[in-house]
């Protein structure tokens, strides 16, 4: 049984409840403490204290790690030298460097013969440098439920416009399946068949403008920007004067508007680091290296 199966998310939630930490569930099973992360930190420190075996050294930077006679590890730090039979590498990733993570774990993995895949930022907002950035800047702070998709995956969640580009759960999720230079599609109305909707409105309200009818489905500010992108030539044309084919063409674009990011915000705001140590070379049961006895990799 793998280590993650032996200690599941339910075990951790049980521990949180044992400490009386208040939390709430948001979309897609995401749990957040009501009083910030300090409650979780204090809980973990208390668990360490219970063992009477954990000695935490702060402001202590690891300089070198080496193996002695294939039995012991020697860790040289800015405070002292430590010798151990088991060494656990839990140095985090490159994401949000202000939290203290670094690339030392990847360097140590390479040092001990492990394959390390190239790393990149994951769960990270997209940035733009073309005309679309001007739109996201004007819409900064607006959010709506969309479907973002490419040829690898698709996510239907909230999309947030920012002054740099696109964020929100849908963007963050898709960023894990996006490579530099690729484009993806935005379905602005994933729960609506716009072609049918517009054709019905054409029969019911033929003198009304397209933007007025679409504004019944989402924020007017967003509709005005979409109008400039997709149907500027019909901005002042009543829907009754548009053919069904024209309405279908507009609907197709609103259901699959193609954008091409210039990049992402990078590790500065990324929630995870993609790539890293090859998990095929680590035991899923113990997290021990399959190359070096006594060496373990955990965490990100």
According to DSSP, residue 282 is labeled: B
Residue 288 DSSP one-character state: B
Nearest to 265 by CA among 128, 93, 137: 128
Tell me what pLDDT residue 197 has: 97
Residue 229 burial by Cβ neighbours in a 10 Å radius (0-12, 13-18, 19+): middle
The token pair at 76 is 């040289």
Is the pLDDT at 290 greater than 80? The verdict is: yes
Domains of the chain by start residue, with CATH: 1-54 (no CATH), 57-116+279-300 (3.50.50.60), 125-264 (2.40.30.10)
Examine the pLDDT at 136 and tell me if it is beyond 80: yes
Predicted confidence at residue 158, as pLDDT, reads 96
Closest CA to 20 of 45, 51, 42: 42
Residues 89-110, buried b or exposed e (16+ Cβ, 10 A)? bebbbbbbeeeebebebbebbe
| Res 300 pLDDT > 80 | no
The per-residue pLDDT for range 184-218, each reduced to its tens digit, is 999 999 999 999 999 999 999 999 999 999 999 99
Q: Is 43 left (phi over 0), alpha (psi -120 to 50) or beta?
A: alpha
pLDDT value, residue 71: 87
63-82 pLDDT tens trace: 999 999 888 999 999 999 99
Mean pLDDT for the chain overall:
95
For the entire predicted model, the pTM comes to: 0.87
């Amino acid at each position: 049984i793998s280590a993650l199966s032996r200690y599941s998310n339910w075990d951790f939630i049980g521990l949180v409840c044992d400490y009386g930490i208040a939390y709430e569930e948001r979309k897609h099973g995401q749990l957040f403490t009501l009083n910030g992360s300090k409650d979780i930190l204090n809980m973990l420190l208390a668990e360490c204290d219970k063992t009477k075996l954990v000695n935490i050294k702060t402001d202590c930077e690891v300089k070198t790690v080496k193996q002695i006679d294939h039995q012991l590890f020697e860790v040289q730090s800015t405070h002292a030298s430590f010798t151990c039979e088991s060494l656990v590498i839990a140095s985090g990733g490159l994401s949000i460097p202000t939290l203290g993570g670094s690339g030392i774990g990847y360097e140590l993995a390479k040092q001990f013969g492990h394959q390390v895949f190239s790393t990149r930022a994951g769960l990270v907002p997209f940035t733009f440098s073309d005309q679309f950035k001007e739109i996201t800047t004007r819409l900064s702070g607006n959010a709506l439920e969309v479907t973002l998709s490419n040829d690898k995956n698709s996510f239907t969640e909230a999309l947030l416009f920012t002054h740099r580009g696109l964020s929100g759960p849908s963007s963050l999720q898709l960023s894990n399946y996006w490579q530099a230079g690729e484009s993806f599609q935005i379905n602005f109305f994933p729960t609506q068949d716009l072609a049918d909707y517009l054709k019905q409105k054409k029969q019911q309200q033929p003198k009304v403008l397209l933007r007025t009818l679409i504004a019944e489905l989402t924020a007017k500010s967003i509709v005005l920007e979409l109008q400039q992108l997709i149907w500027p030539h019909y901005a002042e044309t009543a829907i009754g004067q548009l053919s069904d084919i024209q309405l279908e063409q507009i609907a197709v674009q609103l259901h699959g508007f193609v954008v091409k990011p210039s990049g992402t915000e990078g590790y500065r705001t990324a929630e995870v680091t993609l790539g890293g140590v090859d998990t095929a070379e680590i035991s899923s049961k113990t997290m021990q290296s399959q190359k070096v006895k006594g060496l373990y990799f955990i965490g990100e």
